[in-house]
Structure 1
Amino acid sequence: MKYKVGEIGKVIGGGTPSTKHEEYYTSSGKGIAWLTPKDLSSYSKMYIDHGSRDLTSEGYNNSSAKLLPKDSVLISSRAPIGYVAIAKNEIATNQGFKSIIPDKSKVYPEYLYYLMLENKLNLEKVASGSTFKEVSGKVMKEFEVEIPSLSKQEKILNQLIPIQRKIELNNQINDNLAA
C-alpha cells in the first residue's frame, strides 16, 4: 500500500551548535550522540550509536538539534542525499538530516532502512536548491513509499537481515586484516 512518509512516521530535522564554541563539543562517547552526513560517508552498518564527536549538554541546548529515540531512521538530506542508518540509542543529528521516527504499528525500522536506501535516487530527484540539492522536511513528509503489511515486511527482513549481518562481519574481518 502506498503511504506518504509523514503517514508512517514523524519527520524530524537536525541542528548544529556554533562551531565557534569548542565547549559545545566533546569526544565521541563522552556526551550526547550526534551525527553529520560525513559520519555515514564510509559507514556500512545498519545501526549507529555515535558520530566522530558528541555534543555537550550546553551545545545541545544552544542548537536546534533534537534527541531522536532509538530505532529512528536517520537519512542524510543534503551533501550528500541518501546515507541511511538506524539509531542504536538516543541520538541527535545536524541539519543535514531528515530523520524518521517510525510508527511501528505500520513499519519496522529495518524495513524503512532498506526502503530508504533503495529510494536514494528518487530522493535525489525530488531535492531542490541552487547551491546544493536538499530534501526539505515537507518533501520528505510527502515522499511516497510502498509499505506492505507487517507480516510481509517480516518475511522480507528475515531474508535481508542475515545477509546484512554477513556483509558487516566480512567488512569487520577485512578491516582487521588491513590493520
Structure 2
Amino acid sequence: MGNKRSNNWRVGRLQEIAYVVMGQSPPGSSYNTEGKGVGLINGPTEFTKKHPVVKQWTVEPKKYCENRDVLLCVRGSSTGRINISDSKYCIGRGVAAISARENMGVTDYIYYLIDHKVNNLLNCTTGSTFPNLSSAEIKGFEIKIPSLPEQQKIASILSTWDKAIQLKEKLIQQKKEQKKGLMQKLLTGEKRLPGFEGEWEEVKLGEVIKESKDKTLKHNQYPVLTSSRKGIYLQDKYFSKQVASRNNTGYKIIKEGEFTYRTMSDDGKFVFNRLADVPVGIVSPAYVVFRAVEMEPVFLEEFLNSHQFNRYIRANVQGGTRLSYKYKSLSETIVKIPSKDEQKAIADIILQSNKEIKLLQQELEQLKQQKKGLMQLLLTGKVRVKV
C-alpha cells in the first residue's frame, strides 16, 4: 500500500490522510425539536446544503463530529451524499464523519475528492435494496494522494468556484423573491400598472377555461410526460426511464399551451403546469387537462400557482388525509380577475422576470459544468497546480 505512483502522486487509501468515525444513534427518548442538547445529524434530511441543516437535538449523544469534518451518508438510498460540518454535532447511525489527519490531509480536498469519486465509493456498498457503507470500505477506499501543499492549492481553487456558484444561487433566489413579492401585489390588484384602474371582474373559472378530454387511442401515441412540482418533463428524462404503465392507451392528451394538474394531494398543495416545450404529449388519467379560452395563459399560470389562489383552493378541497380538487371544483371556483389587456401587461412582466431567472439558471449550470470539468483535471493529476 502506498508504493504506487501516478503523476508523482501516491496511490493509497483514504485512511492514510483521514480519520473515519461511524455514527451511532442516541436512545429514542432523547430526541427533541426544541434545541435542547446537541444538534443531531442522522442523514439525508440534514444534507440539503453544503453544511448540515439541523432539525433535531439530543441530550444523550453517542458519537460526535467536529467543526469542519466531512459528513457522509452511509445507509439507505441517500448513501453517498456529503456535506461539511459547521459545528460540533451528534452523528447518527446513517452518517460517517471524516476528518483530515494532521500533516497528511486537507479537509476541503477530502470533501472534493469524495464528491468527485462518489460513484466509485458507491460501488463498495453492500446490500441491494438498502445499501450500506462500512467503516472498512470507507477507510480502504483507493485514492490518489498529492502533497499537502498541492491538496491545499487544489481545495482553494475549487472553493473559489463554489463561492461563485453560491453567489449565483443567492442571486437567483433573490430574483425569485422579488418576483414573488411583485406578483402578490399584481395578482391581487393591490398594485396596478400605469393606465389601468377600475374594479376587477368576478368570474367562475369555468367561464374562462375549458377541460380537454382527448385520450390516446393506441399505446405510445405521443411522448409520455410527467407533471411535477417543478414543471412538465419528458418522463424518460425525468426518471431516466419510462415508468408509465405498459399500455398507455387511454392516457390524457395535452397540447402545447394547455394546462395540467394532479387532482389529489397529500399535503394540500396543487401545482398547475402549462406545456411549453413539447407540441403534444400524454399524461396519466390521474391528471386533468384544460386550456385558457378567455384568459391570458401566462397570467393564468401565475395566478393559479399564487398564494392568493391557494386560499381559493383551501376553501374548495374535499377529503381528509388525501385532499381532492377535481376539475368540477376548479371550474366552480369564483375569482376576481383584471381585463385581458391588464392580464397581458402583467404577463409581459412575468415573461421578462422568468427570462431573467432562466438566464441566471443557465449561467449557474455553466459554472457547475465548468467546476465539474476542473475537478476531473485537478483531482486526477491531469493538470498540476503550482505550489
TM category, shorter: 0.7 to 0.9
Unaligned runs of 5+ in 1: none
Indicate yes or no: 2:23 matched with 1:17: no
Deviation for aligned residue 1:15: 2.0
The 2-side partners of 1:9 and 1:155 are apart by: 18
* 1:123 aligned residue: 121
Contact kept? 1:9, 1:100, Cα under 8 Å = yes
Contact kept? 1:98, 1:140, Cα under 8 Å = no
**1:27-49, Cα deviation, whole Å (9 max, x unpaired):** 35x53122122234432x2x44x
**1:99-121, Cα deviation, whole Å (9 max, x unpaired):** 21211311110000000101110
The 2-side partners of 1:169 and 1:36 are apart by: 28
The 1-side partners of 2:39 and 2:14 are apart by: 25
Determine helix, strand or coil for the equivalent of 1:11: strand
The 1-side partners of 2:129 and 2:161 are apart by: 38
In structure 2, relative to structure 1, the CA distance for the partners of 1:85 and 1:178 (3 Å cut) is same
1:123-162 to structure 2, matched below 5 A, reads 123-162=121-160
* 2:45 aligned residue: 39
Deviation for aligned residue 1:77: 1.2
* 2:12 aligned residue: 3
Higher relative contact order (CA 8 A, sep 6+): 1
* 1:53 aligned residue: 56
Determine helix, strand or coil for the equivalent of 2:81: strand
* 1:77 aligned residue: 74
Determine helix, strand or coil for the equivalent of 1:100: strand
Count of aligned residue pairs for this structure pair: 167
Determine helix, strand or coil for the equivalent of 1:81: coil
The 2-side partners of 1:150 and 1:5 are apart by: 14
The 2-side partners of 1:8 and 1:153 are apart by: 11
The 2-side partners of 1:82 and 1:147 are apart by: 21
Determine helix, strand or coil for the equivalent of 2:72: strand
Among residues 78, 103, 106, which one is paired with 2:104 in the alignment? 106
2:23 aligned partner, one-letter code: G
* TM-score under structure 1 length normalisation: 0.82
**1:63-120, Cα deviation, whole Å (9 max, x unpaired):** xx31122221111112212111121121222111222121131111000000010111
* 1:27 aligned residue: 34
- Rg larger for: 2
**1:126-168, Cα deviation, whole Å (9 max, x unpaired):** 1001431111111111111112111111221232111101112
Deviation for aligned residue 1:53: 1.7
1:77 aligned partner, one-letter code: V
Determine helix, strand or coil for the equivalent of 1:33: strand
Among residues 56, 65, 68, which one is paired with 1:68 in the alignment? 65
Contact kept? 2:112, 2:155, Cα under 8 Å = no
Contact kept? 1:40, 1:83, Cα under 8 Å = no
Determine helix, strand or coil for the equivalent of 1:113: helix
Determine helix, strand or coil for the equivalent of 1:75: strand
Contact kept? 1:16, 1:95, Cα under 8 Å = yes
Deviation for aligned residue 1:25: 2.0
Contact kept? 2:46, 2:55, Cα under 8 Å = no
Residue identity (%): 25
2:71 aligned partner, one-letter code: L
In structure 2, relative to structure 1, the CA distance for the partners of 1:16 and 1:124 (3 Å cut) is same
Contact kept? 1:81, 1:120, Cα under 8 Å = no
* 2:288 aligned residue: none
* 2:225 aligned residue: none
RMSD of aligned alpha carbons? 2.0
1:3 aligned partner, one-letter code: G
In structure 2, relative to structure 1, the CA distance for the partners of 1:178 and 1:42 (3 Å cut) is farther
